[in-house]
Amino acid sequence: MPRKEESELAVGSMMNGLQTLPQWRTFFNNPQGATLGLMNSVYPLGKIGSLFAVSYISDRWGRKLPLLIGLIACIIFSVLQGLAKNIHSFIIARALLGFFTSFLGQPSPIIVTELAYPTHREKVTALYNTFFWFGAIFAAWCTYGTFKIESTWSWRIPSLLQGAVPMVQLLGLYFLPESPRWLVSRGRKEEARKVLADYHAGGDTESPLVAFEMQEIEQVINKEAGAISANSWMELIRTPANRERTLIAVILGFFAQWNGVGVVSYYLVLVLNTIGITKVKDQTLINGLLQIFNWLVSTFLGALMVDRLGRRTLFLTSTAGMLVAYIIWTGLTAHFINSQDEKTGRVVVGFIFVYYLFYNIAWNPLLQAYPVEIFPYTLRGRGLSVTYIAFFIGLILGNQIQIIMSESKPTLRWGIVGTGMISSWFLADLSIDRKNAQATHIIQAIGSSSVEKGKEFVETHLPNLSPTVYGSYEEAYQDPNVDIIYIGTPHGFHKKNCLDAISHGKNILCEKAFTLNAREAREVLDAAKAKGVFVMEAMWTRFFPLVKMIQKLVHEEKAIGDVVRLFADFAMDQRIESLAPEHRLRDLALGAGSLLDIGIYSLTWGLLGLDAGVGEKATTPKICASQTFIQGGVEVSTSIILQYPDGKQGIITSNSKVKTPPAFCRIEGTKGHIIVEGPAAAPENFTVYMDGETEGKKYDFEKPGRGFYWEADAVAMDIAAGKTESDIMPWAETVRVMEIMDEVRRQGGTKFPQD
């Protein structure tokens, strides 16, 4: 019978694992704040909604009927969650799963108590809730096993597998006997006698133990029947004894959530992000190991100690230990946030386990066992429902308070290094007042080659603001009021600018191309890792909602079938031959040419359109490239063929002497194609054409300003979450792109002095 808890918890503990998966976060547009809180809270809300009904059904028609309803419903709605098309269908599925898992959770501990052998009852009843962790183990390791799957099946498979355990249990439900106490209460005494004989006396209906149990059950039920209304919830508070029992049930349920466990139970990912553990593999592994640890502790140090140490000793030990562990855990987390010390982060992980060790001594095994023991038979179902209601109210309130605390937009104070055109565009977008902004951006400081030049930049581009203006970059790095440095200097300066800012412990958003070559990129990222700061290449196009929608249509929904080939171009008539030799587009030491300046955009479209993977999960294609030069060895035209192992091809071009037509990108599949229009850096719309159709479906995206704010908001959210790199533009992706461009330059003939 404890295995009924597996069904409920394989469903209930799934959200922690799903939140570790980038594919889940991407599909649901990275839910935050109220949205994430609703996705977590709707499950316990559903459970509360059914508790009154299930109590009545359990008392009126027996313990097995609600179990049957609950198991069938869990299977159905697990499938609906796994096949969810959008966030609304996912939330509805979670709500219905919550509603029907109460049909498992409410009668299960009662029937466990009523079927258990008398001398085993204490341990068996306490063991029931330890199988919470068995379900959690199942959920955690499902997500660990699927996190490498690139598509939405990485989260759909675990969601579908929620129904696997209920399917097995549904088959076993036929062999489960009805509660003998319920049978006696309905006058079916001979059936009750047979159940007791089969399970307590080897089938001997004349056993003295069976006779004693039957007599005890009949006496208790007859006594309660005369004193308690079978259908009134008011009986829970009618007498002093029942009021005390009900108060205990409320306190036990509410504080089972408000002892701090809810923070980790539903937001483990956020906790791990805070202490610098951001890799999906590490998060899913820790989640899986934590559930195994919890099950072992709750079983051997909790449930099996009930008859030896008693409930009071277990509760006092558990609560005192949790308090001490939580205090130390909080202090260590604060120290890590200030110091970014990796060893401190590891110790914090250890104290998560210490905290759960004490939690599992009492609060897990006794959560249902204690209320079932203290309430009389007639009130047992309603008393346990009170515990559940208090438990889920505590969970919902905890979730909402967590939302309120995290809902306030993170504030990021920017220091700007470089006062060129790209910096002016970036600052203009930060200044736009947007209704859907996810962060507050403050332009704190401007670092320029001279104070005069910096003031002129502010007067021209920030006339209504008064940031601190410095006559050197170094002073901007040293400003204690600056949280992050935006680097908008030419490519050739990026490495030095980044390393200098990192040495002062500053987070960095560095314009693309990140550096001149992959070697420089690795050097910068190694320094960032050692210092524990956030660094991201400012490939802003990747953060456009339009780009995310195309990726979803192409790779997840297969809207145009399997991708076969892609064309992408970015060309601008930059009058390059008329520029001075020291201009960034003519000086090889600064990364001159079209490739690093604009070719990186068309290359990005090729990589995103042909492969769903990013960074370490991406498939790097074979490269075939050629380049055209003007006097001085400056490249003005690059053509690249990307050849993937499965036969897909990308034709990528860039040019500094002509202009790209509006339809700069074409993605061709086996069932149709997509045309993307607008500059490759800041696309405006795209149209999906299906084979055989003359008119396509056009997607327009509103873009106030130029669109830099989407990457700025994402950076603010990542830093607030304690991350050091972005999921959308991770470090491995920056290095991969630089390696591809290194190979293009090797084949084409472009050489920089720094190579």
Q: Are residues 556 and 694 in the same domain?
A: yes
So what's the pLDDT on residue 543?
Answer: 94
Q: Are residues 506 and 570 in the same domain?
A: no
Other beta carbons less than 10 A from residue 435's beta carbon: 5
Could you give the dihedral angle defined by the CA atoms of residues 714, 720, 724 and 730, in that order, rounded to the nearest 10 degrees? -20
CATH assignment at residue 296: 1.20.1250.20
In a domain, 491, yes or no: yes
pLDDT higher at 624 or 382: 624
Instruction: Output helix, strand, coil percentages for the chain, rounded to the nearest 5.
Output: 60, 10, 25
Q: 504-555 pLDDT, tens per residue?
A: 999 999 999 999 999 999 999 999 999 999 999 999 999 999 999 999 999 9
Q: Looking at 401-410, 550-559, 629-638, 673-682, which range is the least confident one?
A: 401-410
Other beta carbons less than 10 A from residue 677's beta carbon: 16
Whole-number Å distance between alpha carbons of 334 and 327: 11
Q: Are residues 393 and 461 in the same domain?
A: no
Greatest extent of the chain over all pairs of C-alpha atoms, in Å: 109
In a domain, 219, yes or no: no
What is the sign, positive or negative, of the torsion defined by CA atoms of 457, 460, 462, 467?
Answer: positive
In a domain, 753, yes or no: no
So what's the pLDDT on residue 266?
Answer: 54
Tell me if the bond preceding 513 is cis, omega within 30° of 0: yes
- Token pair, residue 12, equals 């209930």
pLDDT higher at 338 or 238: 238
Burial of 666 (0-12, 13-18, 19+ CB in 10 A): middle
So what's the pLDDT on residue 378?
Answer: 74
Q: 432-457 pLDDT, tens per residue?
A: 887 778 888 999 999 999 999 999 99
Q: What secondary structure does DSSP assign to 464-484, as a single string?
A: T---EEESSHHHHHH-TT--E
So what's the pLDDT on residue 262?
Answer: 66
Percent with pLDDT over 70 in the chain = 92
Asked if residue 4 lies in contact with residue 169, where contact means CB atoms within 8 angstroms, the answer is yes
Q: Are residues 31 and 92 in the same domain?
A: yes
Give the containing element (helix H, strand E) for 67: helix 64-82
Q: Are residues 291 and 335 in the same domain?
A: yes
Residue entry with tokens 């030095």:
496
Whether 3 shows a pLDDT value over 70: the answer reads no
The alpha helices in 570-687, defined as continuous H runs, are: 594, 600-610
Nearest to 753 by CA among 509, 745, 112, 601: 745
pTM above 0.75, yes or no: no
In a domain, 166, yes or no: yes
Nearest to 649 by CA among 548, 553, 555, 568: 568
Which amino acid is located at 393 in the chain?
A: I
SS3 650: strand
What's the CA angle centered on 172, arms 168 and 178, to 5 degrees? 140
Q: Are residues 515 and 531 in the same domain?
A: yes
Nearest to 367 by CA among 14, 44, 128: 128
Q: Are residues 276 and 422 in the same domain?
A: no
In a domain, 183, yes or no: no
Asked if residue 661 lies in contact with residue 675, where contact means CB atoms within 8 angstroms, the answer is no
pLDDT higher at 279 or 325: 325
Whole-number Å distance between alpha carbons of 164 and 142: 12
Q: 693-712 pLDDT, tens per residue?
A: 889 999 998 877 899 999 99
Whole-number Å distance between alpha carbons of 732 and 738: 10
Query: Per residue, what are the HEC states of 76-111?
Result: HHHHHHHCCCCHHHHHHHHHHHHHHHHHHHCHHHHH
Residue entry with tokens 């990013």:
614
pLDDT higher at 317 or 631: 317
Q: Are residues 600 and 688 in the same domain?
A: yes
Q: 223-251 pLDDT, tens per residue?
A: 766 554 555 778 888 889 999 999 999 99
Average pLDDT, the chain: 88
CATH assignment at residue 622: 3.30.360.10
Whole-number Å distance between alpha carbons of 87 and 93: 10
The mean pLDDT value for 331-351 works out to 77
Could you give the dihedral angle defined by the CA atoms of residues 558, 559, 560 and 565, in that order, rounded to the nearest 10 degrees? -50
Give the containing element (helix H, strand E) for 208: helix 208-227
Q: How far is CA 9 from CA 97, 133, 243, 494, 644, in A?
A: 11, 7, 30, 50, 42
In a domain, 53, yes or no: yes
In a domain, 58, yes or no: yes
What range does the domain containing 237 cover?
A: 4-176+228-407
- Token pair, residue 446, equals 């401007």
What's the CA angle centered on 390, arms 389 and 394, to 5 degrees? 115
Whole-number Å distance between alpha carbons of 41 and 177: 34
Strand partners, 446: 416, 469
Q: Are residues 347 and 490 in the same domain?
A: no
Q: How many domains does the chain have?
A: 3
Ramachandran region, residue 632 (left: φ > 0; alpha: ψ -120 to 50; beta: rest): left
- Token pair, residue 718, equals 């990542």
Whole-number Å distance between alpha carbons of 536 and 509: 5
Q: What is the DSSP letter of 725?
A: S
In a domain, 194, yes or no: no
Q: Are residues 715 and 667 in the same domain?
A: yes
Q: Are residues 582 and 687 in the same domain?
A: yes
Asked if residue 328 lies in contact with residue 145, where contact means CB atoms within 8 angstroms, the answer is no
Whether 8 shows a pLDDT value over 60: the answer reads no
Q: Are residues 373 and 449 in the same domain?
A: no
Whole-number Å distance between alpha carbons of 64 and 268: 35
So what's the pLDDT on residue 9?
Answer: 46
Whole-number Å distance between alpha carbons of 650 and 645: 12
Q: 455-482 pLDDT, tens per residue?
A: 999 999 988 888 999 999 999 999 999 9
So what's the pLDDT on residue 1?
Answer: 42
Whole-number Å distance between alpha carbons of 556 and 511: 29
The number of residues in the chain equals 755
So what's the pLDDT on residue 404?
Answer: 61
Q: Looking at 347-351, 512-516, 595-599, which range is the least confident one?
A: 347-351
Could you give the dihedral angle defined by the CA atoms of residues 394, 399, 402 and 408, in that order, rounded to the nearest 10 degrees? -130
